[in-house]
Amino acid sequence: MPCMRIGILTGGGDCPGLNAVISSVARRSWDHGHDVIGFTYGWRGVIEDSTIPLTRDVVRGIMREGGTILRSSGDNPAHGGDAPERAMATLRKHEVDALIVVGGEGTMRGALTMWRDHGLPVVGVPKTIDNDLPGTELTVGFDSALAIATEALDRLATTAESHDRVMVCELMGRTAGWLSMYAGIAGGADVILLPEMDMTVEEAAQIVTKRHAQGRDSSLVVVGEGYELRSSTGLFDGVALEEQLDAYGFPRLGGVSNHVAGAIEQLTGYETRVTILGHVQRGGPPTARDRALASRFGFLAADLVHAGTFGKLVAHVAGQVTAVPLELTEGDARVVPESEFDFVRSFMG
Ligand code: F6P
């Protein structure tokens, strides 16, 4: 096989583990005798022709670093206009034979558009702390965010105990409660309000009141940022956040926990405080598990390109790292299924 030139980009919200994917793709591609070129700021670098060479010096030691040396943005050729044509022109100019696209749902939409409508040979690598990309059961970044969120809950638990308080902690995840579910369980949360479950604030308050009646003086409440406040009494109905949109027209979440905390304080009479963990969940070095997953994903992505197998998403399915059709990423966000609700409830209280 003659030497190929392989492009790589990281798109969408960043997460720990992206550099480990870049490092793994580069090393494996070099083993195969290919060149690797990085596009900056996700699809923007392809559309606007902005690249950095990926040499051994550039890649050395990046596996342990958070963020992405390629930078990231939500720009996307699927947004229309002449972006796909400009992207193809850039790729032709740099004689790129195939593109490895590391991203979540939006970035993969771009990859599919370019693969299906413009014949670009692409392979996708899934990343997002939300763990909600359809087609894979695990995404790069999730484990690191889970570790950060769990540590935050451990810390909130001790300060909650010192002051006999209820601590409400809001976690990221958009409409998917994976992060809230597993961090809530691992961090010993007494109430876990997932976007997928229709628990009311009255139920949440009842759990807290019962705990305190049984001798506990503090409680920990986890709220997934996509939880929509529900009230069985109607007392807290109409508490909706003003919808804010990001630069790409997607809803910007964050803040519902302020309303949840207000309701819990009112219903229980216990002093309640709020922590919105925010982007802390996306920062810092990846966990060992994310480094390992990213390395496996990058290795397979490079092998797929080398074999000329395109239109695939590298995925974690039933414990195995494998390749699935990229089309699978088009489905609805992978949210916590109803079959898990009993499991989550069994850790509450
Ligand atoms: O999709 C990852 C994510 O971190 C979500 O959990 C969160 O709602 C969103 O991105 C935040 O996006 P931004 O960085 O644009 O504020």
The secondary structure of 83-141 as a DSSP string is HHHHHHHHHHHTT--EEEEEESHHHHHHHHHHHHHH---EEEEEB-TT---TT-S--BT
Q: Ligand 1 pocket test: pick from 107, 129, 243 the residue with the most ligand atoms within 8 Å of its Cβ.
A: 129
Q: What is the pTM of this model?
A: 0.97
Q: Which atom of ligand 1 lies at the shortest distance from residue 172's CA?
A: 6
CA of 15 to the centre of ligand 1 (A): 10
pLDDT value for 246: 83
Query: Residue 258 C-alpha to ligand 1 middle, in angstroms?
Result: 18
The Å distance, Cα 234 to ligand 1 centre, comes to 30
- The minimum-distance atom of ligand 1 relative to the CA of 104 is 1
CA of 285 to the centre of ligand 1 (A): 18
172, 257, 281: residue to mutate for ligand 1 pocket, most atoms within 8 A of CB: 172
Residues facing residue 103 across a β-bridge: 126
Query: Which protein residues touch ligand 1 with a CB less than 6 Å away?
Result: 13, 128-130, 172-174, 225, 246, 253, 282
Please identify, by atom number, the ligand 1 atom nearest to the C-alpha of residue 74: 15
**pLDDT recorded at residue 2:** 63
pLDDT of residue 106: 96
> How far apart (Å, rounded) are the C-alpha atoms in residues 10 and 87?
15
Mutation test residue for ligand 1: of 15, 102, 174, the one with most atoms within 8 Å of CB? 174
Query: What's the CA gap between 100 and 304, in Å, rounded?
Result: 10
Q: How far apart are CA 241 and CA 230, in angstroms?
A: 13
Start-end of H helices in 164-287: 178-186, 201-213, 256-268
Calpha distance 326→315 (Å, rounded): 10
Give the span between the Cα atoms of 274 and 45, in whole angstroms: 39
- Cα 139 to ligand 1 centroid, rounded to whole Å: 15
pLDDT (tens place) for every residue of the chain, 349 residues total: 669 999 999 999 999 999 999 999 999 999 999 999 999 999 999 999 999 999 999 999 999 999 999 999 999 999 889 999 999 999 999 999 999 999 999 999 999 999 999 999 999 999 999 999 999 999 999 999 999 999 999 999 999 999 999 999 999 999 999 999 999 999 999 999 999 999 999 999 999 999 999 999 999 999 999 999 999 999 988 665 667 888 887 888 889 999 999 999 999 999 999 999 999 999 999 999 999 999 999 999 999 999 999 999 999 999 999 999 999 999 999 999 999 999 999 999 9
User: Active-site residues: which are they?
Assistant: 130
